[in-house]
Amino acid sequence: MPTYEIEGVRPVIDPTAFVHPDAVLIGDVIIGPGCYVAPACSLRGDFGRLILKAGSNIQDNCTMHGFPGTDTVIEEDGHVGHGAVLHGCVVGRNALVGMNATVMDGAVIGPECIVAAASFIKAGWQIPARSLVAGVPGRIVRQVSDEELAWKEEGTREYQTLTRRSLASLKPCAPLSEVDAERQERRVEAGDAEPLFARKSQGGKD
């Protein structure tokens, strides 16, 4: 994977973490045990320090960066969706930041919070634990429900499994020119994760 040192400071990656070969890590980046870093992530530790703690994940096309002297942190079991931007902030333990959300400097997303997709979290905002936040600018809508938290935790476990699957089997290959007979009967064995709306629909909820 493209990892770069700057002024003698190198990224650190725990052996049980998976960082995709197409992610870019620069300088003061620390990836903890069991973490997953997806393709096309840019983790630029050329000003502040970037930390992913145990079991956290950051998905495709995300950016982490921060001002000099700051730490940008994803706490244990934090979950950051595709295309999100984290700048000088903290994503709390077991919290979720949705796709294409932006979290600004000095903001702290409390434990077990859910930040909805495409939300904007203003600088310095301290969000209480287990808040559901949505909008531009973001606002607290209500508390995260038990169902929503369970769904979040299941999704995070799927990414922790994906870390192990990727370490064991992901490798470059040449594509096939057509769908073969085996493909007709076989899909990637990827667990039972589903969108939250689908689960609510099955339960008869709006």
Reported pTM: 0.92
Structure tokens given for 12:
């650190």
Alpha-carbon distance of 148 to 101, in angstroms, equals: 18
CB-CB contact of 196 with 148 (8 Å): yes
109-124 pLDDT, tens digit each: 999 999 999 999 999 9
Q: Does position 1 have pLDDT exceeding 90, yes or no?
A: no
pLDDT at 41: 98
Given a cut of 70, is residue 201 above it in pLDDT?
Answer: no
Distance separating alpha carbons of residues 10 and 203, to the nearest angstrom = 49
DSSP calls for the chain: --EE-BTTB--EE-TT-EE-TT-EEEEEEEE-TT-EE-TT-EEEEEEEEEEE-TT-EE-TT-EEE--TT-EEEE-TT-EE-TT-EEES-EEPTT-EE-TT-EE-TT-EE-TT-EEPTT-EE-TT-EEPTTEEEETTTTEEEEEPPHHHHHHHHHHHHHHHHHHHHHHHH----PPPSS--HHHHH------S---HHHHHHHTT--
The answer to whether the bond into 137 is cis (omega within 30° of 0) is: yes
Whole-number pLDDT of residue 205: 47
Which residues touch 115 (CB under 8 Å, ≥6 apart)?
A: 95, 96, 97, 98, 101, 103, 109, 121, 133, 134, 138
- Asked whether the predicted pLDDT for residue 180 surpasses 90, the reply is no
Higher pLDDT: 35 or 2? It is 35
Whether 48 and 70 have beta carbons less than 8 Å apart is answered as: yes
Tell whether the model's pLDDT for residue 190 goes beyond 90. no
Q: Render pLDDT for 77-100 as a digit per residue (tens, 0 to 9).
A: 999 999 999 999 999 999 999 999
Neighbour tally for 128: CB within 10 Å: 13
- Is 3-143 a domain of CATH 2.160.10.10? yes
What pLDDT shows up at residue 194?
80
Q: What's residue 133's pLDDT?
A: 98
Q: Is 185 exposed, middle or buried (0-12, 13-18, 19+ CB in 10 A)?
A: exposed
> 200 pLDDT exceeds 90?
no
Kindly list the domain boundaries of the chain, sorted by start residue. 3-143
Beta-carbon contacts of 140 under 8 Å, excluding residues fewer than 6 positions away, are 127, 128, 131, 132, 133
- Which band of pLDDT confidence, cut at 50, 70 and 90, is reported for residue 206? very low
